[in-house]
Amino acid sequence: MAYFGPCKVRRVDGKQAFVMMVQKRWWDEFCLRVHEGKRTHSFVLRGIAPPKDASTVLFYVTKPVGEIAGYADFIERRVGDAESLWKEHGDESVLKTRERYDDFVKNSQRVSFVRFKDLHEADNTIPLNEVLISLRVRRLGRKGFYVDKEIEDKFVTLMKQKIQ
């Protein structure tokens, strides 16, 4: 077992899912991009941020929402110079303008662009209490965490279920 914050998960083959913490304002912006027909997105973080490798990204929208609200296929994590990464992937970001990007990254020399595609909004979101019960933990890691294939499949199946 590997230890990632308060959650213990088994490392499988480097292709497990990653639960990413995202604020509601950014989640709403990603959903808007999907409705505009955009398929590839980048989540920008200061410094070197996880995930390094994953198969799927599950999006946990932080409090006050407190639920897993969607999932997407992980492409890659790019870490590097703020200037060059903006030039390369800035159009995939919800920050939209260079000014917003500069304000967000401030004076960070290195930034991470977590790239993903085919974002799906959950038909049925998974509230925090169900996430905690499924993971058998009391709280979630603030920078996100990996989950094994079994948990990934369970969460994606729950999100696809239509509410009757």
pLDDT at 15: 67
Asked if the structure places residue 4 within a domain, the reply is: no
User: Count of domains in the chain?
Assistant: 1
pLDDT at 162: 74
| Residue 32 belongs to domain with CATH number | 2.30.130.30
Asked if the structure places residue 7 within a domain, the reply is: no
Low-confidence stretches of the chain (pLDDT < 50) are 1-12
Amino acid identity of residue 59, one-letter, is F
Asked if the structure places residue 104 within a domain, the reply is: yes
Q: Which residues are CB-neighbours of 53 under 8 A, at least 6 positions away?
A: 14, 15, 74, 77
What's the pTM value of the predicted model, to 2 decimals?
A: 0.87
Amino acid identity of residue 17, one-letter, is A
CA distance 114 to 79: 9
Asked if the structure places residue 51 within a domain, the reply is: yes
pLDDT at 154: 93
Asked if the structure places residue 44 within a domain, the reply is: yes
Query: Which residue segment(s) compose the domain that 141 sits in?
Result: 15-158
Asked if the structure places residue 19 within a domain, the reply is: yes
For 22-54, letters b (16+ CB in 10 Å) and e give: beeebbebbbebbeeeeebbbbbbeeebbbeeb
pLDDT at 107: 83
Asked if the structure places residue 9 within a domain, the reply is: no
Asked if the structure places residue 55 within a domain, the reply is: yes
